[in-house]
Structure 1
């Protein structure tokens, strides 16, 4: 499902996404409470926030270099 969804939206996914999703899915099939959903929520938040944070870091770096070196 992860690859199908990623392909449909043309979204890049990493092996970390795949492995973590598989581990959570395997835990959920055994027992729904076997998954630490708080930790899973933190992982998902990290995935969602990484891309915008990287963009902000790149923009800040660009501005610093532009001011320092007149790029």
Structure 2
């Protein structure tokens, strides 16, 4: 699943993960998200997750500890 960066939508001031999104990688980068998630949200205020999706077919794109917080639109797009 190369080219996908996992990003966290967080609550401030404590960075509690509210939702997990997938974003295409920025051009020429592997771990930097592009400007929009796959569901169309702005990634500017989101944090890149320390998780790299596997390229294996059927492997989860989202970190297992946050599976219940996956964005349904990003899930469909992935």
TM-score normalised by the shorter chain: which range applies? under 0.3
Structure with the bigger RCO (C-alpha within 8 Å, sep 6+) is 2
TM-score (normalizing by structure 1): 0.24
Structure whose alpha-carbon radius of gyration is higher: 1
Report the structure, 1 or 2, having the larger strand content.
2
TM-score (normalizing by structure 2): 0.23
Report the structure, 1 or 2, having the larger helix content.
1
